[in-house]
Structure 1
């Protein structure tokens, strides 16, 4: 058993049964006041997804499970939300619903954690909630043991932190107009600085390098990445975020998709983008099923009619 797997098991047990004591520089909150898992996860019916098994998690997170995943082994896809939004608001968003449906049709259970609230910014509280929600969610379907992380806009921070710092393994990372540089977020406007200061306990100072998930990324860290971004995005600077992460961390099976238009433009969450996400996950699943054989990975198909100016693949 690897060190990380051992940590995951120990953390899961502590999370659900006893106070968690000082194993992380993130200063995870104690769990002694949490009820048992069965009291915290409640089945719900979602109006926009009436046919899906769904569960409400502590703090407002949601888990959507395709019916097929009751009997067949399925990976988990965590979906980290954009700034100012909650999991329920994403579920209720008409522009986001078709994207989620396409993922569910591909038998991908979706975990939308509350992650520290609408302005959690991938900070310690956000990461703690995501880790807890992962632990609670994996018993609600036939979990294959593989997890993929998708970050939308601000959610890129939590998705990257999950891949680097969380005690569960992330086997592929997807960014859609994703922000991963804490320093760039700090420089992008005073309105964000107060939120970032609260999320990271900065007390009004700029973030240090070790607090920035991109700047502190280990040199040897490599992961399959699927990164979408537009050079016309005036909200999240693609060069300082998605492109910078791809240059540092893209592993075998990665694809960089150049989109066009403004931040989270209408074509950035359409059916073609969802199909690219599904293809990325399925490629990595196929590699895993091949028991370590070096099978080729197909480039993620380009959505040229609407959203992409080009696709680069490794």
Structure 2
């Protein structure tokens, strides 16, 4: 269902509405959207763009001439891209990634509680389309999901929103079922994001429970056994057991959810090394 709705969105964006079998009448083309140049406090060395809905694109100057891959970063629950970029705990990680010549796309993805649902993927698809023309894109994309953002990052890879060449999770949640049972407040958010009508998600709606047969992808998964917010065993570790492809690594951290050690220089170095390794074909 998600893939079908994404296809409909892409058709409306590019003027193919009504081209799919079973369509009754052409859908009006959506208004033209653009990435607007902007300056971002703390990131003045990068070329910045404001994306529709509050997303951000940060481009290292070298990537205007040198071919670079794109790294999408899916934000944690209750946060916006602007808040993530302004966060003192996240800034060192983001700056290390930019210093490694990685353009960063932070889509709004359906708002602070988008949970990787259809609206989140629509926005990510649109923002990817806008972003890839703003620098010398190499054609390779990597996704990084932080906490709740793991849902968007994994769904992007599964639903072929765009070609994903590697997936990174930092305390990432990828089990919709585990999220549903984790708290009452999350149930209402998930019900809204996935139109569940206050019922538990079915297996086919859960990206972890419905991984395509033979689905494998280079994975870099960070998680802590002490994390009481996102259960590492039922999320990052479970995905790793099922889907780890060549070049994958599972990194056990320690301490609480998104603790300081989970976003430190060592984590940034591992993320850079993982992407560089994939780029080099290792």
TM-score range, shorter chain: over 0.9
Say whether residues 1:144 and 2:103 are aligned partners: no
Residue number in structure 1 paired with 2:233: 239
Q: Which residue of 1 aligns with 2:274?
A: 280
Q: Any idea what the Cα deviations from partners look like across 1:271-311, whole Å, max 9, x if unmatched?
A: 11000000000000000xxxxxxxxx4xxxxxxxxxxxxxx
Q: How many residues align?
A: 271
SS in 1 for 2:261: helix
| Residues 196/13 of structure 1: CA separation in 2 closer, same or farther (3 Å cut) | closer
Partner of 1:268: 262
- Whether the 8 Å contact between 1:127 and 1:166 is mirrored in structure 2 is no
Work out whether 1:168 is the aligned partner of 2:165.
Answer: no
Question: Does 1:14 find its partner at 2:8?
Answer: no
Q: Offset of 1:48 from its aligned partner?
A: 1.3
Corresponding residue for residue 104 of structure 1: 98
Kept in 2, the 8 Å contact 1:80–1:152? The answer is yes
Q: Is the 8 A contact 1:225 1:254 kept in 2?
A: yes
SS of residue paired to 1:173: strand
Helix, strand or coil at the partner of 2:227:
coil
Question: Are residue 185 (structure 1) and residue 179 (structure 2) matched?
Answer: yes
In the alignment, which of 214, 220, 228 is matched to residue 226 of structure 1? 220
* Structure 1 residue 167: Cα displacement: 2.8
Separation of aligned partners in 2, 1:271 and 1:100: 10
Paired residue secondary structure (2:116): coil
The secondary structure found in structure 2 opposite 1:139 is: coil
Q: What root-mean-square deviation, in Å, do the aligned CA atoms of Structure 1 and Structure 2 show?
A: 1.8
Q: Does 1:49 align with 2:46?
A: no
Does the 8 Å CA contact 2:13/2:30 hold for their aligned counterparts?
Answer: no
Q: Which residue of 2 aligns with 1:27?
A: none
Does the aligned pair in 2 maintain the 1:15–1:132 contact within 8 Å? no
Report the CA distance between 1:32 and its aligned residue: 2.0
1:256 is aligned to 2:250:
yes
- Normalised TM-score (structure 1): 0.83
Q: Aligned in 2, Cα 1:140/1:31: closer, same or farther, shift over 3 Å? A: farther
